[in-house]
Amino acid sequence: MFQSPRRLCSALLQRDASGLRRLPAPGLRRPSSPPAAAPRPASPRLLAAASAASGAVRSCSRTVCSMGTGTSRLYSALAKTLNSSAASQHPEYLVSPDPEHLEPIDPKELLEECRAVLHTRPPRYQRDFVDLRTDCSSTHPPIRVMQWNILAQALGEGKDNFVQCPVEALKWEERKCLILEEILAYQPDILCLQEVDHYFDTFQPLLSRLGYQGTFFPKPWSPCLDVEHNNGPDGCALFFLQNRFKLINSANIRLTAMTLKTNQVAIAQTLECKESGRQFCIAVTHLKARTGWERFRSAQGCDLLQNLQNITQGAKIPLIVCGDFNAEPTEEVYKHFASSSLNLNSAYKLLSADGQSEPPYTTWKIRTSGECRHTLDYIWYSKHALNVRSALDLLTEEQIGPNRLPSFNYPSDHLSLVCDFSFTEEPDGLL
Ligand SMILES: NC(=O)C1=CN([C@@H]2O[C@H](COP(=O)(O)OP(=O)(O)OC[C@H]3O[C@@H](n4cnc5c(N)ncnc54)[C@H](OP(=O)(O)O)[C@@H]3O)[C@@H](O)[C@H]2O)C=CC1
Ligand SMILES: [Mg+2]
């Protein structure tokens, strides 16, 4: 007998004193300490917990819900409630349901459900946060931002040709749980996603019940629409926790190149921290892919920077820009961002010994054209107004494995990037 989500959630909902829901944070390692030893799979307890959880879920399923075929009833009930309204309205203009009337979900419960669905999958790797603090000035809780190209389902199954990734590993019913598990494990305050083609039926309903407010901006001509049995266009999505931030304004930007409208988009939002009253701008983008398009990406990057100059009133508001730029650090568009009058720095450079080099890869796949290992994904931030307190370490080559990504235990060809930020100084300081 399936109980309504309300009873499930109210019985299970646990909030800490600050009202923030936090799972135990992964370990924190200082950059000077030796990198994580040999790759270690998620410890047996996780899988044991998962099987216990799946047992628990099975036992609780007698009273609450039985696990559906690969999808818990909880998801499908939530998806159905939202889907019906999504189906009945023009998707681009679907207004998220009133956040005041959402049935909250307990993140621990959803994490257990994900792990129950994934009980046949190999262990997932625990990535540690590297402590990058140079002082301990900030008293406010950090702002945790996740950047992630989650691989559109239609592209993964229909176009991307990851020849070393078994089709079985890409089954949506399980791959979505790997994506949710990564989000729940690191509990970002803000999520910047690319290649989202399951916004209305999966991420919006679930993340809104975890307290996030979401915005989706599809590509005008998504390549997903070329794929048979697609789920609609892919695009960028931006989610933030409503109990931490207030939305001041939001802009959907269709990027231009040489004044021509292109197929790539961005979302830029100004948020106000409820704790400190400080405002900042957060943006997400996904630039044109493939070699031969370097000048095009450079032009798109310049257009995005111009938009962000205007939105931040000439860098008066601190800025964080997340994206799959589809560009190595050697490309022009990277140099435009690194030398912009917005005074940006790339956060993941701070993981390197000298603080000056990007990681060796953020995406690693094998297509028919061969093995593609690249650094294409970045988190840019206002280097005078924001501090990077920590960054999530990347998977090692051994953890990624010989068949590279995506795989049975990592859902995308791109790694997620996660950083904790704090404001540097009082509002009247230089940005
Ligand atoms: N632009 C337009 O005006 C028009 C566009 N279209 C449609 O748009 C599509 C182009 O979309 P657009 O987003 O601009 O294209 P992009 O070149 O930006 O790439 C589209 C997707 O393909 C992935 N990709 C990159 N390299 C490869 C590869 N070697 N093999 C397979 N997939 C790859 C990218 O993933 P990642 O970013 O992770 O690398 C990205 O998600 C066309 O295929 C067509 O369907 C149709 C008519 C007009
Ligand atoms: Mg892709």
Q: Domain 142-423 carries which CATH code?
A: 3.60.10.10
From the CB of 221, is ligand 1 less than 6 Å away?
A: yes
239 burial type by CB count under 10 A (0-12 exposed, 13-18 middle, 19+ buried): buried
Q: What is the pLDDT of residues 71-127, one digit of tens each?
A: 444 444 444 434 444 434 444 433 455 655 668 999 999 999 999 999 999 999 999
Please, are residues 340 and 383 in contact by the beta-carbon 8 Å criterion?
Answer: no
DSSP assignment letter at 160 = S
Instruction: Sort strands 363-367 and 370-374 into parallel, antiparallel or unpaired.
Output: antiparallel
Q: What b/e readout covers 264-280, taking b as 16+ CB neighbours within 10 angstroms?
A: bbbbbbbbebeeeebbb
Give the integer Cα–Cα distance in Å for 81 and 145.
29
297 pLDDT band, cuts 50/70/90, is very high
- E-assigned strand segments in 358-399: 363-367, 370-374, 377-382, 386-392
Cβ neighbours, 10 Å, residue 377: 26
Per-residue confidence (pLDDT) for residue 247, from 0 to 100: 98
Give the integer Cα–Cα distance in Å for 376 and 203.
24
User: Is 39 or 116 the better-scoring residue by pLDDT?
Assistant: 116
From the CB of 303, is ligand 1 less than 6 Å away?
A: no
Q: Point out the ligand 1 atom lying closest to the alpha carbon of residue 152.
A: 41
Residue 171 predicted with pLDDT over 50: yes
Per-residue confidence (pLDDT) for residue 99, from 0 to 100: 54
Helix (H, G, I), strand (E, B) or coil at 52: helix
Q: Point out the ligand 1 atom lying closest to the alpha carbon of residue 225.
A: 45
Pocket test for ligand 1, best of 149, 160, 297 (most atoms within 8 A of CB): 160
Percentage of residues of the chain with pLDDT beyond 90: 73
Give the integer Cα–Cα distance in Å for 231 and 225.
8
How far apart are the CA of 269 and the centre of ligand 1, in A? 25
For the chain, the structural domain boundaries read 142-423
Q: Average pLDDT, whole number, for the chain? A: 83
Average pLDDT over residues 293-320: 97
Q: What b/e readout covers 104-137, taking b as 16+ CB neighbours within 10 angstroms?
A: bbbbebbbbbbbbbbeebeebbbbbbbebbeeee
Helix (H, G, I), strand (E, B) or coil at 337: helix
Pocket test for ligand 1, best of 260, 290, 291 (most atoms within 8 A of CB): 290
Average pLDDT over residues 247-251: 98
Q: What is the ipTM of this complex?
A: 0.93
Residue 311 predicted with pLDDT over 60: yes
How far apart are the CA of 281 and the centre of ligand 1, in A? 28
Q: Is the pTM of this model over 0.90?
A: no
Average pLDDT over residues 373-401: 98
Residue 12 to residues 106, 108, 128, 261, 264: CA-CA distances in angstroms? 6, 9, 28, 48, 41
